[in-house]
A = this chain, B = another copy of it.
Amino acid sequence: MMRLPRVQSLTPESEGWGYYLCSHKELRPIRSGELLLVTLQDATGQVNAKVLDEIGRFNAEFEAGEFVRVEGHGTIFQGQLQLVLTHIRRVNPDQDRLQGFREEDCVPSAPRSIDEMWAELTAHLESVRDPHLRVLLNRITTDHRDALREWPAAQQIHHAYRGGLLEHILKMAETGRFLARAYNANEDLVLAGTLLHDIGKLQELHYEPGATTYTRDGNLVGHIGLGLILVRETANGISGFPDPLRAELEHLILSHHGSYDHGSPVVPKTIEAFIVATVDELDTRIHQVRRAIAEDPTDDEFTGWHKRLGRVIHKGTSPRRPD
């Protein structure tokens, strides 16, 4: 039996075995028994699968949240690709590693490698000219290195996978710095704002592969408040950190949603704040658009109706976007 391809390469003809993260499991009752429905993830995406026979036996072999080894084949069901599984069990790490199981292959992840992204982050940090901001950024990224490398940018809406937060802030840093130069704004501040605007998400969300949840502080305080506290406490610990600089930096975090309606307790009042809010909104929106295009199962020129965006999306007819 062959090994199944990556999720994004599965076809109805695929058949074989593979390792995945089971992010969801559900017994669907039917008259004389039940179906076992599961969602399987790997680094490239996720796919629905079902077990039709020996439900009781297989149900006992794994839980949602565990890595699993499956056997099965592809099929088309109501217009979408699915897997029909003939076997499923939880991974036995020691054994399965010998067969090629690697956790990181089974977790939905940013398209770029985390080490590559971290190197880009480091380069940004080294370019900061303001000494206080440089110290502050180094301290925060060092103290929170592990989470910052792993965290998704959100539970669902955008960049909702391993390394998603890093991917998001790096793109914002790239575009934000350009706009800062174009508008003769304080580039160090804009860089700091893009890197830290969502830093409170490290405490707002709890991330484990396959399960991003809101923490108590996430629900009650929220990432804007949590980010504010982290920046304030860090700045307090840096001798001579200028008070006006601290206030402008905090302002970037507090105002990054751009308006009261979107949950910012203060609205942008500096050019840097307008830039940070703008590149955050744009990167979020474009990520949603790209995902809508990627996930649309048809060959049509437009996607189906995207409820959150409130529109259909054009997939592109002019030659462009070689990726």
Q: Which residues of B contact A26 (CB under 8 A)?
A: 78
A314 at the interface (CB under 8 A from B): yes
Q: How far is the CA of A54 from the CA of B270 in the complex (A)?
A: 45
A265 at the interface (CB under 8 A from B): yes
| A174 near B182: Cβ-Cβ < 8 Å | yes
Q: Beta-carbon contacts of A217-259 to B below 8 Å, as 1s and 0s?
A: 1011110110011001000000000101101101100100000
Q: Which residues of B contact A56 (CB under 8 A)?
A: none
| A225 near B242: Cβ-Cβ < 8 Å | no
| B221 near A251: Cβ-Cβ < 8 Å | yes
| A314 near B250: Cβ-Cβ < 8 Å | no
Q: How far is the CA of A217 from the CA of B103 in the complex (A)?
A: 46
Q: Beta-carbon contacts of A168-190 to B below 8 Å, as 1s and 0s?
A: 00010011001100111110010
Q: How far is the CA of A313 from the CA of B182 in the complex (A)?
A: 20
Known: A29-B77, A178-B175, A245-B318. A254 touches B282 (CB 8 A): no
Closest residue of chain B to A223, judged by CB? Answer: B265
Q: How far is the CA of A267 from the CA of B321 in the complex (A)?
A: 21
A307 at the interface (CB under 8 A from B): no
| A225 near B266: Cβ-Cβ < 8 Å | yes
Q: Beta-carbon contacts of A277-289 to B below 8 Å, as 1s and 0s?
A: 0100110011001
| A171 near B182: Cβ-Cβ < 8 Å | yes
Nearest chain B CB to A231 CB, angstrom units: 10
| B31 near A312: Cβ-Cβ < 8 Å | no
A214 at the interface (CB under 8 A from B): yes
| A254 near B184: Cβ-Cβ < 8 Å | no
| B175 near A244: Cβ-Cβ < 8 Å | no
A154 at the interface (CB under 8 A from B): no
User: Can you list 6 A-B pairs with a CB-CB distance of less than 8 A?
Assistant: A184-B323, A220-B251, A225-B266, A244-B317, A269-B312, A269-B314
| Top-7 shortest CB links A-B | A186-B320, A244-B317, A220-B251, A222-B266, A30-B31, A220-B247, A224-B265
